[in-house]
Amino acid sequence: MSDAFSGDGAASPETIIALAREVAEVSAQRTGAISDITRRTKILALNAKIEAARAGIHGTGFGVVAAEVQSISSEIDEAAARMRDEIVGSAHRLHRLGQDLIGSMRGQRLADLALNMIDIIDRNLYERSCDVRWWATDSAVVQALEAPSAQTVNHVSQRLGVILKSYTVYLDIWVADASGRIIANGRPGGYRVQGLSVVDEPWFRDAMATRNGGEFAVADVNSSANLGGKPVATYATAIRAGGADNGKPLGVLGIFFDWEPQAGTVVNGVRLTEEERQNSRTKCLIVDSNFRVLAASDRQYLKMGRFALKTGGKDMGYYQMEDGAMVAYAQTPGYETYKGLGWYGMIVQTPLTSSISV
């Protein structure tokens, strides 16, 4: 039997399962050998009884011994069978214990990875909320609404273009006046949106309703027809008179985070072990508060649309599906002043088969 423990005397759950399997196999082999010996002994005792019967009165004593040997062999056989059942039963219980322990450890690890994943997303989106509040106070942005003219509009478009060259995570930046009409954007050559109305967009209305420059509006990830149909996370805030924190809202600055490549980097960058990556058995997802799949390391989950996540009202946890797959999740905890949108980091992992067969 192999050494089941590591150098420091500790055994991993995987080692416990391997040991349980080995005990069951060795027990089956040894008791099988005993059964074979008793079988042959019974045959010899039977032959001895036959010969004793042929010998008549002279073989009586020998026949008694043969009968006793046969009886003892049967007792040994029964004892071996009981021992086998007890040892194998204990090995099975040990196997289940190891499996449960592995499941608990694996589930908690995956939940921790899911939390780390959504935390990275939150930190990233927190920066987006900072960007929009900062850029809304830019003098070129404020001037375009306080003194609208071809010159100020052209200047703010150029200014937004400079920002987009440095901040490559955005598809575009829009400036809309108080009526909701877009007067300027950072990529006018790529997205011809000037003159369009966004007055009915929730992010525009929410941004106009902010009470001061420290507040912002955010919309869940959705495809934008005006941005090539690409999925974007939209952040917006009011542009205020004089760029002052409590200035009168003059319009709205909207920034459009290029969601797919950024989120893809996060879900594909989870630190999985080689065993967890084996056969692509581990999938990493981001879902919104309604469990709509926003990002996934396997595009099949994006096609699914919605994942029926079962949280049981918990912010973080794991459970096993009927097919044996482990599902771990963690809800956004928010970051700094960004409270998050109730999104979840999620990991779905199919099992590696491991069983005892004796």
Tens digit of pLDDT for each residue in 27-50? 666 666 666 666 666 666 566 666
Tens of pLDDT along the chain (358 residues) come to: 444 434 444 444 556 566 666 666 666 666 666 666 666 666 665 666 666 666 666 555 555 555 665 666 666 667 666 766 766 666 666 666 666 666 677 888 999 999 999 999 999 889 999 999 999 999 999 999 999 999 999 999 999 999 999 999 999 999 999 999 999 999 999 999 999 999 999 999 999 999 999 999 999 899 999 999 999 999 999 999 999 999 999 999 999 999 999 999 999 999 988 888 888 889 999 999 999 999 999 888 888 889 999 999 999 999 988 888 899 999 998 887 778 789 999 999 988 754 434 3
Q: Residues spanned by CATH 3.30.450.20 within the chain?
A: 127-262
Q: Residues spanned by CATH 1.10.287.950 within the chain?
A: 13-102
CA–CA distance, 357 with 28 (Å, rounded to integer): 10
CB 272, CB 283: distance < 8 Å: no
CB 181, CB 208: distance < 8 Å: no
How much is the pTM?
0.71
Q: Does the domain spanning 13-102 belong to CATH 1.10.287.950?
A: yes
CB 238, CB 136: distance < 8 Å: yes
287: which strand partners? 293, 344
Which DSSP category does 7 fall into? T
Distance of CA 117 to the CA centre of its chain: 8
> Which residues fall within 8 angstroms of residue 334, CB to CB, at 6 or more apart?
122, 340
Tell me, what's the pLDDT at 8?
46
Burial degree of 351 (CB within 10 A; 0-12, 13-18, 19+): middle
CB 318, CB 326: distance < 8 Å: yes
Tell me, what's the pLDDT at 279?
80
CB 183, CB 250: distance < 8 Å: no
Which DSSP category does 289 fall into? T
β pairing state of 344-349 and 326-331: antiparallel
CA–CA distance, 65 with 60 (Å, rounded to integer): 9
Tell me, what's the pLDDT at 336?
77
Tell me, what's the pLDDT at 104?
74
β pairing state of 293-296 and 316-320: unpaired
Q: Does the domain spanning 127-262 belong to CATH 3.40.50.1000?
A: no
CB 345, CB 329: distance < 8 Å: yes
CB 309, CB 344: distance < 8 Å: yes
Residue owning tokens 């396997």:
298
Residue owning tokens 């989120």:
263
182: which strand partners? 176
Measured at the CA of 104, the angle between CA 324 and CA 99, to 5 degrees, comes to 60
Which DSSP category does 352 fall into? P
